[in-house]
Structure 1
């Protein structure tokens, strides 16, 4: 099969199509003939040699796919054969065939194209587990999400709209802020033109937000804490500006703040399958009804994976970047 499986770390130019054996599904797994694969920032980090796949995961890039089930592993029900599914995977997505745990698959409804379905799992699993489970966001809460036009940001906006959150996002330009507001963000702050801490305090009347979903890290963390209301929750999901920060411990104590975070890729299949079950019950009805769709920035062919990564690294995208294989 054709696949993107760089032998060495490097720039986008290492993303060349090569031949790899078609993987075979093990117990509890399915084999998907891939129609499309989402491109995510962890793919860029892996390509650079900064984010190796977890033990047992394929070295082929790609954390989310959509395609048709063409083979079943032991213990998987025969009803899945031939079904269009999208899946969260620990690797292997940039290929014509990909193995996925059956429990991490969700059916592709008629409301979605395969490219749209491939753009959902990674960000949906991430936002659901971190904003709604770790940060305990509930209807009526006001939340702050950085990177408002990223895949994470656009997914957070969509879920906030459905589940009754007021969402403030940050973005790096006025045009991106306008795009975020057009997608449903209640407020969008250009962090290159304004102090987001001051703007959040202004928007909230000095009260602060119930939760912050942060992918920036570094010096943003203490600034994020200033944005939180008493009893607020801060969830870290990436560290683009650094993995260390200085925090005011007594302020955390005095205001009863919670600092937490998570990574998804290394979690076991049992956990991810539980999340998939929750999404199937709580979110997928909205997907099936056409009320929740990913924002697609651009699609590229597998052979143009390098251009897809260049697009992501340039930071000009709004929403998800997707590779198509059919």
Structure 2
């Protein structure tokens, strides 16, 4: 099969087309003929040599695909009744940049009603991540008086960002988002957020002004570094900060007294190394709570560009430029 491999750690140019043996599914796994592969920031980190695949995972990059089920084991944990020939999208631990990929059956979902395979390929990594971190770890929900809690998304125009904005907005939560220019801010606003240009505005001041000085209930943070101290200032009492990436640096200074006084929680997670049953449980929640929102057209994929798989290097260069809004997808 055709695949895109990392020849050695480095820049986008180290991605190259290659011939690889077709992967063989094991117990509880299925084989997918890939139509499209999503491109994600962890793929970039892996290409640079900073994010090794978990033990046993393919060395090929790619954490999400969509395509047709063409083989495998359907005998155990098949909550959606999937079968040969079905169109699915799937979360992978690696191996998505290829014409065929293997995935645990529990991490496969039927493509949402009304979406094509390219659109479906843009969903798994972001929706699994957002649900796990915003709704499970961050516990975004309702206050004691029944009013919906609020969410701040740092990096609102990224793939994760547009997903978090849309999903929280569709479920009735006030959403705020930061972005790096006015065009990206307008894109966030079109999805349902009140947007802050972090280059020209102080996000803490804007959040305080918009919330009558109360702050937000949950922050989804992909920056960390010196953002953390400011995010503590932007949280409401009993607020939760969820860190899922450290684009601004691994180290932060925390005012422990503010954390105690306002009863704040700081947490974070990485999804890729989590066990299959954990991810399969998220898949079931997505199928129950999120997939119907696509059918009702209350959610939609936001895809910046679709490129031929052979142009994976250009896709990575585009992602690193941070000029994109939404997802980048490779078509096979």
- Return the TM-score normalized by structure 1: 0.97
CA apart distance, 1:177? 0.4
- Work out whether 1:174 is the aligned partner of 2:174: no
1:56 maps to 56
Sort the Cα spacing of 1:317 and 1:56 in 2 relative to 1 into closer, same or farther, 3 A.
same
CA apart distance, 1:27? 0.4
Partner Cα distance (2:191, 2:179) in 1: 13
- Return the TM-score normalized by structure 2: 0.95
The answer to whether the Cα contact below 8 Å between 1:138 and 1:163 also exists between their aligned partners in 2 is no
Cα displacement string for residues 45-75 of structure 1 (whole angstroms, at most 9, x for unaligned residues): 0000011111111000100000000001373
Q: 1:256 aligns with which of 246, 256, 263?
A: 263
Partner Cα distance (1:109, 1:229) in 2: 35
Which stretch has the larger CA shift, 265-274 or 2-11?
A: 2-11
Partner Cα distance (1:84, 1:277) in 2: 17
Sort the Cα spacing of 1:79 and 1:270 in 2 relative to 1 into closer, same or farther, 3 A.
closer
1:218 maps to 225
1:268 maps to 275
CA apart distance, 1:289? 2.9
Q: How many residues align?
A: 324
The answer to whether the Cα contact below 8 Å between 1:87 and 1:105 also exists between their aligned partners in 2 is yes
Partner Cα distance (1:59, 1:79) in 2: 27
Matches within 5 A, 1:87-106: 87-106=90-109
Q: 1:202 aligns with which of 199, 209, 213?
A: 209
The answer to whether the Cα contact below 8 Å between 1:10 and 1:47 also exists between their aligned partners in 2 is yes
Cα displacement string for residues 141-185 of structure 1 (whole angstroms, at most 9, x for unaligned residues): 111110010001100111012111100000000111011101221
- Work out whether 1:127 is the aligned partner of 2:134: no
Q: Which runs of 5 or more structure 1 residues have no equivalent in the other structure?
A: none
Matches within 5 A, 1:209-248: 209-248=216-255
Matches within 5 A, 1:28-43: 28-43=28-43
Q: Secondary structure at the match of 1:68?
A: strand
2:154 maps to 146
CA apart distance, 1:198? 1.0
CA apart distance, 1:79? 4.9
2:71 maps to 71
Cα displacement string for residues 197-227 of structure 1 (whole angstroms, at most 9, x for unaligned residues): 1111111111100011000010001110100
1:160 maps to 168
Partner Cα distance (1:149, 1:122) in 2: 16
CA apart distance, 1:108? 1.1
Cα displacement string for residues 2-47 of structure 1 (whole angstroms, at most 9, x for unaligned residues): 1111131111111111000000110001000000000000000000
Partner Cα distance (1:20, 1:289) in 2: 40
Q: Secondary structure at the match of 1:16?
A: strand
Partner Cα distance (1:86, 1:74) in 2: 16
The answer to whether the Cα contact below 8 Å between 2:154 and 2:178 also exists between their aligned partners in 1 is yes
Partner Cα distance (2:16, 2:48) in 1: 14
Q: 1:85 aligns with which of 85, 88, 91?
A: 88
Q: Which runs of 5 or more structure 2 residues have no equivalent in the other structure?
A: 143-147
2:3 maps to 3
2:145 maps to none
